[in-house]
Structure 1
Amino acid sequence: MPDPTVLLERDGVRLTADDSVATVTLCNPAKRNAQSPALWRALVEAGRLLPGSVRVVVLRGEGQSFSAGLDRQAFTPEGFDGEPSFIDLARGSDKQLDATIAEYQEAFTWWRRSDIVTIAAVQGHAIGAGFQLALACDLRVCADDAQFAMRETSLGLVPDLGGTKPLVDLVGYARALEICATGRFVHGSEAERLGLANLVVPVAELDASVHDLAAALLAAPRDAVIETKALLRGAVDRHYEEQRPAERAAQARRLRDLAGVGE
């Protein structure tokens, strides 16, 4: 088989595509795939560069950790080269600070696009921003050595990269509060029990298990998966009586499409 096409490789992010499956790899294992504003911009660009043929996107980290979270250099006075330090950001106006955080959040928002299904393949540490990046995906397959932790509160901060909503949706308010407020580690077996992980497998089987899941997702017609994903996402915020007409409308579109009948 030909090697996947490399579409992007910069700032600790590599995007490759092979027909219907794309892979976004965090590729700075020496720093346990710690995150920075430059990495977040590269993740946004990866989302923009996805070919139209892609139906499944796999997010993974090189080395022993998925992502150890935000690079602590952000909290030093010098920050990163060419970037304002977080200390400088705190001294800016409310409008500037809000706009900057909104820009950072963009790296975490495209993973739930309706036209793709995203899978986080998590091994080792997924801490803080790493935890939130895994939560940004539709599905999570975890190695049995996976360790999730939301350490922002322990640092005097809050999770602000889009992770609070999916965390509450998956585990409920009380458990989410306990996980965030204590900053404790949630290990692979507990993650599966709580609903954070769809599947937990031995480390050596992680890649093969993700491949099998991707293949299963590709077996159904694309439009049916898109409609189903939209229905399930919308169900979170709809009442039962609102969900039923949404189902009817989606099914009508599918039936007309299968019958070749225009609306």
Structure 2
Amino acid sequence: MTLLDQDGVRLTVDDEAVVATVTLTNPAKRNAQSPALWRALTEAGRLLPGSVRVAVLRGEGKSFSAGLDRQAFTPEGFDGEPSFLDLARGSDAELDVAIAEYQQAFTWWRRTDLVSIAAVQGHAIGAGFQLALACDLRVCADDVQFAMRETSLGLVPDLTGTHPLTALVGYARALEICATGRFVHAAEAERLGLANLAVPAAELDATVRDLTAALLAAPRDALIETKALLREAHTRTYEEQLAAERAAQARRLRDLAGIAD
């Protein structure tokens, strides 16, 4: 069932409404991103049924997403949108609000009530790289080309990508990737932990289906508790994490025993 199809984004759910697929649908522009696309991605997150357990993000065509549409930096910008040059002329508060709105398209993928998977092929550059990083897991085709080009353009990665990138590869490697803007290909992405799996392009969809099935095999509440434990582990001390594990396990045991909190 299709719940959304606008501005380069299509949201569908399977018959049981447990798997959602968000597809970037502008392959002619290599799924370049714009404020309208970001608003559509945010709306897709709002429209997700509460029953969805796995959200898959993919891009049509040869590229996952080649990043921000450079039209944003032209004086005319996009129809009906302020150009980024116009935004830069606004106040600090106005600019902060605009960027925060854009970031919403990248935040909901890490909700604890679902697991998100990015199926990445071809180019994943700049905003495309950050969108893949917004997901919990990444399955990559062997032709993938990750690159963070913002610094090379005099900008910074501001679409939520710096936190997961640093968590995955460490500060020094994240700095090197961002500062040089170089390509990270499939084998290196898998070795660094950017990709959970790297497979031949022809096997990308089947691999994502297999991973989705494996995630659905676990009881939902146990997976939600486990994801929450792992997501917050880096913010706690060792002893605090042990306490969090005990509290989560107590909830699971009471649930299995039919004992309400």
TM-score for both structures, normalised by structure 1: 0.98
Q: Paired residue for 2:159?
A: 161
User: What is the 5 A alignment of 1:84-99?
Assistant: 84-99=82-97
Please name the residue that 1:16 is paired with: 12
User: CA–CA distance in 1 between the matches of 2:218 and 2:90?
Assistant: 50
In 1, Cα distance between the equivalents of 2:257 and 2:136?
Answer: 30
The TM-score with structure 2 as length reference comes to 0.99
Identical residues among aligned pairs (%)? 84
Describe how 1:50-65 pairs up with structure 2 within 5 A. 50-65=48-63
Q: Deviations over 1:32-51 (max 9, x none)?
A: 00000000000000000001
Match for residue 25 of structure 1? Answer: 23
Where structure 1 has 5 or more consecutive residues not aligned to the other structure, the ranges are none
Query: Shift of residue 236 of structure 1?
Result: 1.6
- Which of 186, 189, 204 aligns to 1:188? It is 186
Is residue 2:234 matched to residue 1:243? no
Unaligned runs of 5+ in 2: none
User: Once the 2 structures are TM-superposed, how far is the Cα of residue 237 of structure 1 from its aligned partner?
Assistant: 1.2
Partner letter of residue 27 of structure 2? P
Question: Aligned letter for 1:169?
Answer: A
The Cα of 1:80 is off from its aligned counterpart by 0.2
**1:6 alignment counterpart:** 2
What are the within-5 Å matches in structure 2 for residues 75-224 of structure 1? Answer: 75-224=73-222
Spell out, residue by residue over 1:121-146, the C-alpha distance to the aligned partner (whole angstroms, 9 max, x if none): 00000000000000000000000000
What amino acid maps onto 2:135 in structure 1?
Answer: C
Provide the aligned length of Structure 1 versus Structure 2.
259
CA distance in 1, matches of 2:149, 2:188: 18
Out of 45, 48, 64, the position equivalent to 2:46 is 48
RMSD over aligned Cα atoms: 0.4
